C-alpha cells in the first residue's frame, strides 16, 4: 500500500498534486511519501513481533537521503552501511552509533578505523584477513570490535544474477564449510569480540524458500559453533525481501517472512538482526518526469521522457520493470517504448509496453523508484544530478537539490601544462 493516488483525475503524493512539484521543482525529480515510508517501516517491524530479541538496520544503500533516514531513525531503525560515506550519513541522520552495522566486501583499513572511532555496534567481517586487520586496528586503539562473520550459504536466491549474493561463486562471505575454522581463529584474536554470523543471499527475492534454506544452514552452523565452545549471541539475517514492481506481482509479505523467520529460528536463542532495504523504501518513491516528445518508431512510437538511465539506472542495468503511469490519465492507452535522452539504446525504460496515452508536455511517473533510484544516479551525458522531494501530508520539501552540470564542471580543471 502506498500514498500515491489519483484525486480528481490527478496523481497525488499524499495531499500534494504532482503537477505542483513539477512546476516548483522541475523534472525529473524523485518524490517520496513520508506516510508510505513510515507505514512500511511499521509493517516490517510488526511482522517481527514474535521475535523476542531483534535489531532492524535499514540497508541505506537503497536510499541514503538524509531526510529519508531521519524518518526511519525516528521509527527506531538503525542502519546497515557499506562505506565510510554511508556511516557518516547514518550518524548525521540521528541514528545512534550502536545501531549501525558495517557490512561490505571491501572495507578499507581507514573505514574499519572510522567505524571503531565512531563506536558502531557491529562489523560484519567478510573474510579472515579483514578480521585480522580489524583486530590489529582495534588493539592499537585499545578497543574491542564487536563482530560477526558473514557466511556464504551457497543457495540460489532465484533473483537477477547481478543482485544474487549467496552462491558459492559470488564474492561475498566465507564458504559455510570453512566458517567454523575461520571463526575459531578470529575468535582467538584479542581486539575482536566474535559474537555471531551474518548472511545475505540476494535482493528482490520473490520466494521465501531460498531464504529458509539458507537460514537452516546457518542454524546448523550456529549449533556447530556453540558445540565448539563459542558464545553465539547474534545472527544477522540480511535483507532481500522483494517488492511488487508489476501490478500483478505478488511477492511474500513481510508478515509471511516474519512468520517463517520466527519458525526457523525459534530455538536459536540469539538477537536477530535484519537489513531490509527495498521492502522499506521501494514503494515510497516515484520518479516524476515530463514527456518531451513522442516520436514515430519502426513499430511503435517512442515516448521520450526527460528522465534517463542516469536518473534511474535499474532498467538499463537489470532489465528491471518500473510501472509508468500518467499523472493525468485520460483513460486511453497506447503501445510505445519509453526512452530517455541519453545517447545509448540501453537508455530504455520499457519496450513496446501498453501505457497510458501521453503527449509532449504531459507528466508521468515511474513507480516503485524509492529504492536503488536516486542513489544510483549519475551525471552521465553531463546531465544534472536528479533532486529529491519528501512529501508529508499537505507539505513537501526538497530533501536533495538538483546538482547542475555546471557545478560538476566547476570541480574540474584543465591542466595549465596543456597549452
Interacting residues toward ligand LLP by CB under 6 A: 59, 62, 80, 103, 163, 200, 203-204, 238-241, 275-279, 314, 318, 372
Spot the catalytic one: 1, 227, 343, 418. 343
18 and 365 Cβ atoms separated by less than 8 Å: yes
Q: Min. distance of Cβ 150 from ligand LLP in angstroms? A: 8
Cα–Cα distance measured from residue 219 to residue 235, given in angstroms and rounded to the nearest whole number: 9
Q: Residue 316 is placed in which grid cell?
A: 538499463
343 is catalytic: yes
Task: Tell me whether the omega of the peptide bond preceding residue 278 falls within 30 degrees of 0, making it cis.
Answer: no
Give the nearer residue to ligand LLP in terms of CB position, either 12 or 314.
314
Give the nearer residue to ligand LLP in terms of CB position, either 65 or 362.
65
CB burial of 250-284 (b: ≥16 within 10 Å; e: otherwise) equals ebbebeebbbbbbebbeebebbbbbbbbbbbbbbb
Give the nearer residue to ligand LLP in terms of CB position, either 191 or 240.
240
Q: Min. distance of Cβ 319 from ligand LLP in angstroms? A: 11
Tell me phi and psi for residue 397, to 5 degrees: -145, 145
Q: Min. distance of Cβ 299 from ligand LLP in angstroms? A: 29
Give the nearer residue to ligand LLP in terms of CB position, either 56 or 327.
56
For cell 520518479, name the residue.
287
Q: Min. distance of Cβ 199 from ligand LLP in angstroms? A: 9
Q: In 10 A of CB 228, how many CB atoms?
A: 12
Q: Min. distance of Cβ 330 from ligand LLP in angstroms? A: 31
- Which 3 state secondary structure label does DSSP give 334? strand
Give the nearer residue to ligand LLP in terms of CB position, either 33 or 159.
159
Give the nearer residue to ligand LLP in terms of CB position, either 59 or 287.
59
Give the nearer residue to ligand LLP in terms of CB position, either 11 or 41.
41
For cell 566547476, name the residue.
410
Give the nearer residue to ligand LLP in terms of CB position, either 222 or 241.
241
Cα–Cα distance measured from residue 70 to residue 64, given in angstroms and rounded to the nearest whole number: 10
Q: Min. distance of Cβ 16 from ligand LLP in angstroms? A: 26
Task: Return the active site residues.
Answer: 343
Amino acid at each position: 500500500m502506498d500514498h500515491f493516488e489519483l484525486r480528481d483525475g490527478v496523481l497525488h503524493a499524499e495531499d500534494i498534486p504532482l503537477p505542483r512539484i513539477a512546476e516548483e521543482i522541475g523534472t525529473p525529480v524523485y518524490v517520496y511519501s513520508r506516510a508510505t515510508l513510515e507505514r512500511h517501516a511499521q509493517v516490517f517491524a510488526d511482522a517481527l513481533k514474535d521475535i523476542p530479541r531483534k535489531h532492524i538496520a535499514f540497508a541505506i544503500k537503497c536510499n541514503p537521503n538524509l531526510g529519508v533516514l531521519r524518518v526511519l531513525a525516528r521509527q527506531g531503525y538503525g542502519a546497515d552501511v557499506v562505506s565510510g560515506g554511508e556511516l557518516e550519513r547514518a550518524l548525521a541522520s540521528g541514528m545512534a552509533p550502536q545501531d549501525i552495522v558495517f557490512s561490505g566486501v571491501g572495507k578499507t583499513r581507514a573505514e574499519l578505523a572510522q567505524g571503531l572511532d565512531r563506536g558502531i555496534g557491529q562489523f560484519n567481517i567478510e573474510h579472515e584477513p579483514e578480521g585480522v586487520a580489524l583486530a590489529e586496528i582495534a588493539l592499537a586503539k585499545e578497543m574491542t570490535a564487536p563482530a560477526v562473520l558473514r557466511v556464504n550459504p551457497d543457495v540460489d536466491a532465484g533473483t537477477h544474477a547481478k543482485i544474487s549474493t549467496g552462491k558459492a561463486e559470488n564474492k561475498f562471505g566465507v564458504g559455510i564449510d570453512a566458517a567454523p575454522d575461520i571463526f575459531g581463529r578470529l575468535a582467538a584474536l584479542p581486539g575482536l569480540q566474535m559474537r555471531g554470523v551474518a548472511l545475505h543471499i540476494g535482493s528482490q527475492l520473490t520466494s521465501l524458500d531460498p531464504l529458509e534454506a539458507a537460514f537452516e544452514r546457518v542454524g546448523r552452523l550456529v549449533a556447530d559453533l556453540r558445540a565448539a565452545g563459542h558464545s553465539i549471541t547474534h545472527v544477522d539475517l540480511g535483507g532481500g525481501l522483494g517488492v511488487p514492481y508489476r501490478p500483478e506481482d505478488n511477492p511474500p509479505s513481510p508478515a509471511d517472512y516474519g512468520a517463517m523467520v520466527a519458525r526457523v529460528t525459534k530455538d536459536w536463542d540469539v538477537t536477530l538482526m535484519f537489513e531490509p532495504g527495498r521492502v522499506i523504501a521501494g514503494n515510497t518513491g516515484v520518479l516524476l518526469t515530463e514527456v518531451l516528445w513522442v516520436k514515430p518508431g519502426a513499430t511503435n512510437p517512442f515516448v521520450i521522457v526527460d528522465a534517463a538511465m542516469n536518473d534511474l539506472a535499474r532498467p538499463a542495468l537489470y532489465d528491471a520493470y518500473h510501472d509508468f503511469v500518467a499523472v493525468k490519465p485520460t483513460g486511453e492507452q497506447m503501445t510505445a517504448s519509453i526512452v530517455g535522452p541519453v545517447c545509448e539504446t540501453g537508455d530504455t525504460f520499457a519496450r513496446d509496453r501498453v501505457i497510458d496515452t501521453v503527449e509532449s508536455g504531459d507528466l508521468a511517473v515511474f513507480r516503485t523508484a524509492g529504492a536503488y533510484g536516486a542513489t544510483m544516479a549519475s551525471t552521465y551525458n553531463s546531465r544534472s544530478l536528479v533532486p529529491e522531494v519528501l512529501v508529508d501530508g499537505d507539505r513537501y520539501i526538497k530533501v536533495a537539490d538538483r546538482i547542475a552540470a555546471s557545478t560538476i564542471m566547476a570541480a574540474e580543471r584543465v591542466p595549465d601544462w596543456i597549452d
